[in-house]
Structure 1
Amino acid sequence: MQTIDLELLKELTGIQNEPCISLYMTTHKVHPASASDSISFKNLYKKTLHYIQEHKLSKHETLLKPLEKLIEDKSFWDNGSHGLAIFISTDDTKIIRLPEEVQEISCVANAFCIKPLFKMYNENQNYYLLALGLDSVKLYTGDKHQIEELEIEGKLPLSMKEALGDQLTDNHFHASVVEGAGLHGYMEKSQEEDIDMDRFFRKIDKGILEHFDIPSKTPLLLAALPEHHTDFVRISKNPNLGPVQIPINPHSLSHSELLKKVQEVMGEALDKRKKELLERQQLATQENLSSTEITDIVRDAIDGKVDVLCIENGKSIKGALDVDNRAIGEDDNLNTDVINELVRTVFNFGGDVVVLDQEEMPTTDGIFTINRY
């Protein structure tokens, strides 16, 4: 299953001004529900073909026709997921199995319908997870739906004992015994433990930096006992180590329990980001740097002013962007959606796109912006 990541979004939004077809549908992972998926696709295919033929879009029909063979491809439908997206252009056909159910969409246009992917992108951030214990170290990579353990042997020490070897303090005493004298040169046990811990954590941190090329915007999460968090964060030089941490003993959890815990903390972090976004929008409104009027948003998007475009999940506005006149136009022959074109335009200008559910939106318009200037 392909992750909805920044690279994919850039690839899809970069294709424009050429015939494109975008299809979305819900699918099922197991029998007997998955048995109906090929029938649903057949109906979606016929619906799309009818629209193309009705509007005499011969170039789009040439793109669509090869997909007919999927209808009878039993092996394809037997290996399903929760959703399916298909993107067809003159250069390529990209079939993506989605981790979530989606609304059925048949879009025949001159760019891809990518709007539904942004909610998954917002909510399904990739991450690395360091499960850190004194007797066990593991490193994972994952997203909202899955987590995979990475091979670290030879790259990271698997325990404090392996990391420090003979240098690991046994009894925390440094002394020589002289006849007639007691122990001297005593060092507190807690001090010895702190020194060992620091040296161990530094080896872990250095190993991750040297052997794992974590992308700049991918966070490194830390799952460890609460008392180890402060020390590791203090020592770490890893720029990916973020504020979202998991104060647990990670090795007391099963694989599925660990994923569930990650989902909880990532969900809390997402809620926090949404709250901060709404607070930022209120301040931007006071400074005339936020708009809810679609005509203003269209002009600002075309001019590259929009820093954040926030849209309501499922919201659409029939029409197209008239770039020359900085306004909303129409194209009667194509399935164009103003919101989708705004998403593509803002994203290509380097802005962020955030999708909120209806109950989360602060306005009844279902769309707002935060502008750069």
Structure 2
Amino acid sequence: MSTASQDFSLRPLMRDELKQLAEISGDPCVTILMPTHRSGPETQQDIIRFKNLVGKAGQKLKDSGHDRSILDPIESLSTNSSFWQHQGEGLAVLLTKDDVRFIELKHQVDERVVVDDSFFLLPLLRSGSSDGGFFVLTLTWDEAKLFASDGETIEMVETEALPAKFHDLVLPRDPEESLQNTSHRSVGNTAGTSTAMFHGHGEGEDKIEADRDQYLSLVGDQVAGAIYNTGAPLVVVATKEVSGHFESTTGLSIDAKVEGSPSHWSDDTLHQRVIEAVKNQIGSDDAKLFERLGAAIANSKGSRDMAEIRDAGQKGRIELLMICGSPENSNDLNTVLRETLRRGGEVRRFDGNQREEKVAAIFRF
């Protein structure tokens, strides 16, 4: 009988959570994966899809001699329409008899149900890794939007207040009310808070400046909360004037800048310019890693052969596992991924178009 609580909180995969999940073993562990939709009539199809996958999980549990009561905490989700109105691109449900997690994925996944003594984690790697991923803030004096990118796609991030227009964040006030903004904060890719105080006089330039400082301060708080504990870089797309004011007002660490007014660009143009900025300004140690791989292979301390990598994973020899693209349906690679994380190895994911090989590894010995 399941003792997992019925907490239907949906959240993204946290940094280092993959390692925690890799260390979980149980008899059984149930992994349910499915694509989802953010809104519209397709969400009703998601409910039907989920119900069918739960049924499939129940059959797999029965076939392997387990009690299907482990699924009890999630059965009611098939009638919880509110849960399905707040999804991302994909959903992972991970169950043991003592725990259940609902992980929002930032990319679509294939339908899959796995009943084993550990979780099927490979499809979660793309959401759980900051390698190649970054946040993008498009900012003008009129509007602020936050996006997340995995290096291949870009999608909008919705926070408590973003996306927002200037007038959504800065409400009209009495012209004689205090104006000058002083912000006290402690941020820098951490969840920061600010205390804004307004004092001054009249309208005109002082009021405009105070309102803009308040606007940027509120945007900064939203961004800081969204990127907290992700380890992902922040790219700001704005004119030189706006980005300069944002940086000085918020104190947030900006890793790359794209100069220009994002309101004039298409989504494709935005993504292209951001990718170029990330490549040129943030840089990457990817080339050095693959050079290191080549040297390791030459000295019999690395491999591109899956059979050899699988054997090394079982023996705890993998120092660095390198996965290219999204090979999400390999049981062998999932096992290697889990063993590498469990034994203190590092896992890096690279864009699929970077290399021909799908998997490679550098060994400890």
Measure how far apart 1:74 and its partner are.
3.1
Name the CA shift for 1:149/1:38 in 2 (closer, same or farther; >3 Å): closer
> What SS class does the counterpart of residue 75 from structure 1 fall into?
helix
Q: Tell me the equivalent position of 1:290.
A: 302
Asked if 1:310 is matched to 2:323, the reply is yes
Q: Which residue pairs with 1:332 in the alignment?
A: none
Paired residues of 1:309 and 1:346 also in contact (CA < 8 A): no
Q: Please state if 1:353 is matched with 2:358.
A: no
Gaps of 5+ in 1: 158-164, 166-203, 318-336
Q: TM-score, length-normalised on structure 1?
A: 0.61
Separation in structure 1 between the aligned mates of residue 19 and residue 347 of structure 2, nearest angstrom: 12
* CA shift for structure 1 position 100: 2.5
Cα pair 1:13 1:344 within 8 Å, conserved: yes
TM-superposition CA deviations, 1:330-362 (whole Å, max 9, x none): xxxxxxx221121122234140231553x6542
1:33-182 matches, cutoff 5 A? 33-58=42-67, 61-122=68-129, 125=133, 127=135, 129=137, 143-144=148-149, 145-147=155-157, 148=162, 154-155=182-183
For the structure 1 residues 261 and 100, does the alpha-carbon distance in structure 2 shift closer, same or farther, using more than 3 Å as the test? same
Return the alpha-carbon distance in structure 1 between the equivalents of residues 38 and 243 of structure 2: 39
What residue number does 2:208 align with? Answer: none
Pairwise CA distance, 1:22: 0.7
Deviation of 1:265 after TM superposition, in Å, equals 5.0
Percent identity reads 20
Seen in structure 2, the aligned counterparts of structure 1 residues 274 and 2 have a Cα distance that, compared at 3 Å, is: farther
Q: 2:41: which partner in 1?
A: 32
Post-superposition CA distance 1:139-187 (Å, at most 9, x none): 9865233344798964279xxxxxxx9xxxxxxxxxxxxxxxxxxxxxx
For 1:17 and 1:222, how far apart are their aligned partners in 2?
A: 44
Q: Provide the rounded CA distance (Å) in 2 between the counterparts of 1:350 and 1:240.
A: 29
For the residue of structure 1 that corresponds to 2:28, the secondary structure is strand
Task: Kindly tell me the number of residue pairs found equivalent between the two proteins.
Answer: 297
Q: Which residue does 2:7 correspond to in 1? A: none
Distance 1:142 1:10, change over 3 A: farther
In 2, the alpha carbon distance for the partners of 1:140 and 1:77 equals 24
Aligned to 1:171: none
State the SS of the aligned residue for 1:347: helix
1:217 aligns with one of 231, 247, 263: 231
Q: Secondary structure at the match of 2:91?
A: strand
Quick one: distance in 2 between partners of 1:293 and 1:139?
47
How far apart, CA to CA, are the structure 2 residues paired with 1:154 and 1:258?
Answer: 35
Q: 2:257 maps to which residue?
A: 245
**Aligned amino acid, residue 316 of structure 2:** D
Structure 2: any 5+ residue segments left out of the alignment?
1-9, 150-154, 171-180, 186-199, 201-215
Deviation of the 1:64 alpha carbon: 1.7
CA 1:258–1:18 in 2, change beyond 3 Å: closer, same or farther?
Answer: farther
Which AA in structure 1 matches 2:183? Answer: K
Residue type matched to 2:303 in 1? S
* CA distance in structure 2 between the aligned counterparts of 1:308 and 1:29, rounded to whole angstroms: 33
Matched residue SS, 2:117:
strand
Give the conservation status (yes or no) of the 8 Å contact 1:15–1:111.
yes
Tell which structure's C-alpha radius of gyration is larger: 1
Gap change, CA 1:100 and 1:239, over 3 Å in 2: closer
Amino acid at match of 1:343: L
CA contact (8 A) 1:122 1:355 kept: no
Return closer, same or farther for 1:316/1:228 CA change in 2, 3 Å cut-off. Answer: closer
Letter of the 2:340 counterpart: V
Amino acid in the other structure paired with 1:369 = A
- Offset of residue 42 of structure 1: 2.0
Counterpart AA for 1:6: R
Cα pair distance change 1:308/1:273, threshold 3 Å: farther
In structure 2, what residue type is equivalent to 1:353? Answer: R
| Superposed CA offset, 1:214-257 (max 9, x none) | 65934243445469999x99x9xx89543x3312246xx38xx6
TM-score by length of 2: 0.62
1:110 shift after superposition: 1.7
Give the match's secondary structure for 1:6: coil
